[in-house]
Amino acid sequence: MDVRVQDYLDDKLQSTADLESLDTLLEAVRNSQQLLKQQLDVAKREHDSTARETEQHAQSLQTRGRAFQKDQHDIDQRLLIVTQSETSDEAVQKFEASMERLRRLDVAAGYVELLKEVNMLRRVCTAQLGKSDEAALEPYRRLQRLATALQPLQEVAEGAAPHLLDHIVRQVQNLRETIRKSFAADLEKLLKKMGWPKALDTIPLALQQEWSNVIFRLLDLQRPELEKLEQSNVARTTNFEPPALLPLEVMVQPLEQRFTYHFSGNKPTNRLDKPEYFLQHVLDLVSSYADFLHEAMQPLLTRHFRSTDLAFTPAYMDATSAFITALLPMLRRKLVSFTQQIDGQSQLLSHLVHEVMSFDTTLQDTYAFAPISPTMPFRGLAYFLLDTCGYFQQWLTGERDFALSRYHAIVEAPEAGELDYDSVGADTTKPTNMAINVNDLLETITDRYRTLSSFSGKLRFLIDVQIAIFDMFHQRLHASLEAYLAMTSSVGRTMHGLSREDQAELQGVKGLDRLCRVFGSAEYLERAMRDWSDDVFFVEMWDELQDRARKRNSISSKLGGLQEIQSKTSAAVGEEDGDEGVQGALFDETATAYHRLRVRSENQIVETVVYNIREALRPYGRIGTWASLSSSAAGGSISAELDPTLRLVAEYFAFLSRALGKVPLRRIGRHVGHAIQSYIWDNVLVRHTFSTAGAAQLATDVRALCTDLERYIGPGQAQAGMRRLLEGVTLVGLPVRGEMQRVLPSRAGMESYGEDDDDGAAAWDETDGDDAMGAETETKKLGLFEVERLIFMDNESARHVLEQLGLEVLSEGDARAVLERRVELGS
* Whole-number pLDDT of residue 644: 93
Give the pLDDT confidence of 349-360 residue by residue, as tens digits.
Answer: 999 999 999 999
Question: What's the pTM value of the predicted model, to 2 decimals?
Answer: 0.74
Phi/psi at 419 (5° precision):
-70, 140
Are the C-beta atoms of residues 735 and 715 closer than 8 Å to each other? no
How confident is residue 760, by pLDDT bands cut at 50, 70 and 90? very low
> Is residue 404 helix, strand or coil?
helix
* Whole-number pLDDT of residue 235: 63
* Whole-number pLDDT of residue 752: 39
* Whole-number pLDDT of residue 659: 93
DSSP bridge pairs for 432: 419
How confident is residue 580, by pLDDT bands cut at 50, 70 and 90? low
**Averaged pLDDT for residues 430-454:** 91
* Whole-number pLDDT of residue 498: 55
Instruction: Evaluate if residue 48 carries a pLDDT over 60.
Output: yes
Give the pLDDT confidence of 613-638 residue by residue, as tens digits.
Answer: 999 999 999 998 888 877 665 656 88
Name the strand (E) or helix (H) holding 283: helix 276-296
**Averaged pLDDT for residues 147-173:** 68
Instruction: Evaluate if residue 151 carries a pLDDT over 80.
Output: no
- Mean pLDDT comparison of 169-183, 496-510, 614-628, highest-scoring range: 614-628
Q: Which residues contact 763 (CB under 8 A, 6 or more apart)?
A: 752, 757
> Is residue 53 helix, strand or coil?
helix
Strands (E), 487-614: none
**Averaged pLDDT for residues 423-444:** 92
From CA 322, how far away is CA 401, in angstroms rounded?
A: 39
Give the pLDDT confidence of 287-345 residue by residue, as tens digits.
Answer: 999 999 999 999 999 999 988 888 889 999 999 999 999 999 999 999 999 999 998 89
From CA 247, how far away is CA 301, in angstroms rounded?
A: 11
Query: According to DSSP H, which parts of 342-432 are helical?
Result: 346-367, 380-383, 392-411
Average pLDDT, the chain: 83
From CA 127, how far away is CA 715, in angstroms rounded?
A: 101
How confident is residue 500, by pLDDT bands cut at 50, 70 and 90? low
Instruction: Evaluate if residue 278 carries a pLDDT over 80.
Output: yes
* Whole-number pLDDT of residue 409: 95
Instruction: Evaluate if residue 742 carries a pLDDT over 70.
Output: no
Least-confidence region, from 208-222, 325-339, 507-521, 735-749: 735-749
* Whole-number pLDDT of residue 665: 94
From CA 312, how far away is CA 230, in angstroms rounded?
A: 10
Give the pLDDT confidence of 640-687 residue by residue, as tens digits.
Answer: 999 999 999 999 999 999 999 999 999 999 999 999 999 999 999 999
Instruction: Evaluate if residue 379 carries a pLDDT over 50.
Output: yes
Are the C-beta atoms of residues 649 and 708 closer than 8 Å to each other? yes
How confident is residue 766, by pLDDT bands cut at 50, 70 and 90? very low
Give the pLDDT confidence of 102-143 residue by residue, as tens digits.
Answer: 777 776 776 777 777 777 777 777 777 767 767 777 777 777
Instruction: Evaluate if residue 746 carries a pLDDT over 60.
Output: no
* Whole-number pLDDT of residue 318: 93
Would you state the torsion angle of the CA atoms of residues 332, 333, 339, 342, taken in this order, to the nearest 10 degrees? -140
Are the C-beta atoms of residues 79 and 85 closer than 8 Å to each other? yes
* Whole-number pLDDT of residue 748: 35
From CA 435, how far away is CA 525, in angstroms rounded?
A: 7
Would you state the torsion angle of the CA atoms of residues 287, 292, 298, 304, taken in this order, to the nearest 10 degrees? -130
Q: Which residues contact 132 (CB under 8 A, 6 or more apart)?
A: none
Give the pLDDT confidence of 767-811 residue by residue, as tens digits.
Answer: 333 333 333 344 445 788 888 888 888 999 999 999 988 898 899
